[in-house]
Amino acid sequence: MLAELEDFVALRRSVGVARTRLVMDDVIARLETALPMIRGIPAGPAMLELSFDCDSSAEGVATVEQVRATMVAPFDLDGESHRLSLRIGGGGAPTHDADELRLIESAEQALADAREIRSDVVRDLANPSAGDDPIQLMRELPEAIASGQIFLQYQPKVRVRQQQVVSAEALVRWRHPVRGLILPGMFIEAAERSNAIGPLTLWIIERAIADQRVLAAQGHDIPIFINISGVLLSDAGFVRDACALVSGGGAKIGFEITETAVIRDPESAIANLGIFARIGVPLAIDDYGAGLSSLAYLKRLPARELKIDKLFVTQLTSSNRDPLIVRSTIDLAHALDMEVTAEGVETPAALALLGVMGCDMVQGFLISRPIEFAAFLTFLSEERHVAAMAGPRFSFHRDVGQWKVG
Ligand code: C2E
Ligand code: CA
Ligand code: CA
């Protein structure tokens, strides 16, 4: 396992460079005393290599728990009490197959994932495909929902003119105890095939309703949009349950749907979308341009928002054709009385061009990656989108400041 000290920079500021050089020795001493099966070696000022033998991967995961528990009590650093916490990434393999290089590299990868999801990750190299198997994943899904492994991240949509966050998209993630972070691309399709998508989506709607209430209570009463799989649009049971949740909750919830989903079973999909629209759920057409599109259906959908697929947006400033497609899509949507969102806005250049083209709203890494709810609240209250959208000008000012200082 590789264990990394969290908030190392702050600790170094607080106790000084010399003392931080010795901190890892203190950590190793404590861990080796409490957990004698563990051998620890410092692997840098903030990093620690821990190795041990165990009988199963479950035991390995349990040992990580014990390490965490051992770290809870504060450390005495030169008479001052400091809480230290470790972020852990680990890999395990059967003794006969425990190639050191493989173990270290898998621990490095696990640690990188652990940082990203802010949760420890341990992988079983003997069973690497355990989580790649969609059927296995679907077996684990109900338990994953029940035990809090499924969670939502939020990504803001910003109105270009007013520079205001007008809504957010909820994106589902799975924090798997062995595999680390699993993105929806890995399990949504399997969930659609196995009928797990209905219960999963209802859980997501409930979660988003609860979060939207908190947003509203804190003065950010913006709708949260949820992705609805095409298969659910012709599922009467789902439509009934979703309507009950959304209309009973009093929270602002919108749905994103793809046109391809509608084309599959147009009559019942359009009828059900009509039901959602009538109870006040705003609808957005997702991934426009990426799949099948039909002007005939586009006209019949009770949607107020059209989202241009990120495929066209990420290439916007490097391709000859994409600006034309985006431009004409914006005009088409406006002619149909819809607002346009560009997703996948990654650069100030793309943002500027979209603004000139009359695009109403933008969403993308430039403004924010999808982030967890607590971080999203901070993002909103600090209006971080403003600095993000002012990107290059901001760094220009900083440069000027540095010139003056120098
Ligand atoms: P989507 O609805 O098109 O969601 C946007 C995807 O683009 C997200 O990927 C998001 O992280 C990513 N993205 C956002 N901004 C940028 C950017 O600036 N550049 C680039 N390159 N990518 C960006 P994610 O979260 O992996 O989701 C993938 C897809 O999985 C979603 O595509 C959606 O179709 C599906 N999905 C996500 N959450 C749910 C859900 O709760 N239910 C259902 N049914 N599907 C979901
Ligand atoms: Ca979407
Ligand atoms: Ca999309």
In a domain, 28, yes or no: yes
Whether residue 145 is found in the same domain as residue 252: yes
Q: Is the residue at 133 inside a domain?
A: no
Please report whether residue 343 resides in a domain.
Answer: yes
Answer yes or no: is 379 within a domain. yes
Q: Are residues 264 and 396 in the same domain?
A: yes
In a domain, 333, yes or no: yes
Same domain, 117 and 264: no
* Ligand approaching nearest to the C-alpha of 363: 1
The tens place of each residue's pLDDT in the chain, 406 residues long, gives 999 999 899 999 999 999 998 999 999 999 999 999 999 999 988 999 999 998 877 788 788 888 988 998 999 998 889 999 999 999 888 888 778 888 999 899 889 878 876 678 888 888 765 555 677 788 889 999 998 999 999 999 999 999 999 999 999 999 887 777 888 988 898 888 888 999 999 999 999 999 999 999 999 999 999 999 999 999 999 999 999 999 987 899 999 999 888 888 889 999 999 999 999 999 999 999 887 777 778 888 999 999 999 999 999 999 888 899 999 999 999 999 999 999 999 999 999 999 999 999 999 999 999 999 999 999 999 999 999 998 654 444 444 444 443 3
Confirm whether 21 is domain-assigned.
Answer: yes
Q: Which atom of ligand 1 approaches the CA of 345 most closely? A: 18
Q: Whose CA is nearest to atom 41 of ligand 1?
A: 172
Q: What pLDDT is attached to residue 400?
A: 42
Q: Are 149 and 176 in contact (CB under 8 A)?
A: yes
Task: Report the pLDDT value the prediction gives residue 295, as an integer from 0 to 100.
Answer: 79
Same domain, 109 and 148: no
Q: Tell me what pLDDT residue 132 has.
A: 58
> Is residue 302, in this structure, part of any structural domain at all?
yes
What does the pLDDT read at residue 38?
A: 94
Residue of 145, 343, 354 best suited for mutating to test ligand 1, as the one with most atoms within 8 Å of CB? 343
Atom of ligand 1 nearest to the CA of 226: 41
Last residue of some domain: 101, 128, 155?
128
Taking residue 132's Cβ as centre, other Cβ atoms within 10 Å add up to: 11
- With a 6 Å cutoff on the Cβ, whether 310 touches ligand 1 is yes
Pair 95, 144 in one domain: no
For position 392, what pLDDT does the model report? Answer: 57
CA 241 to chain centre: 26
CATH of the domain at 117: 3.30.70.270
DSSP, residue by residue, 294-318: -HHHHHHS--SEEEE-HHHHHTTTT
- Residues 69 and 149 both lie in one domain: no
CATH at residue 144: 3.20.20.450
Which ligand is in closest contact with the Cα of 231? 1
Same domain, 40 and 19: yes
- Specify the pTM: 0.75
Q: Taking phi first (over 0 means left), then psi (-120 to 50 degrees means alpha), and beta for anything else, what does residue 118 get?
A: left
- Ligand 2: centre distance to CA 1 (Å): 36
Q: For atom 38 of ligand 1, which residue has the closest CA?
A: 171
Domain boundary among 78, 109, 128: 128
Looking at the structure, tell me whether residues 179 and 270 fall in a common domain: yes
Specify whether 353 is located in the same domain as 214: yes
Query: Is residue 227 lining ligand 1, measured as CB closer than 6 Å?
Result: yes
Q: How would you write 242-280 as a 3-class SS string? A: HHHHHHHHCCCEEEEEEHHHHHHCHHHHHHHHHHHHHCC
Residues 143 and 111 in one domain: no
Looking at the fold, whether 213 and 119 belong to one and the same domain comes out as no
Claim to verify: residue 88 and residue 174 sit in the same structural domain: no
Given this model, what pLDDT does residue 17 score? 92
The verdict on residue 369 lying in a domain is yes
pLDDT value, residue 32: 95
Non-local CB neighbours of 136 within 8 Å, separated by 6+ positions:
130
Number of domains in the chain: 2
Q: Domain range holding 326?
A: 138-402
Q: Is the CB of 286 under 6 A from ligand 1?
A: yes
> Final residue of a domain: which of 102, 128, 154?
128
Which residue's CA is the closest to the ligand 1 atom numbered 37? 171
| 144 and 137 Cβ atoms separated by less than 8 Å | no
Rounded CA separation 394/392 (Å): 5
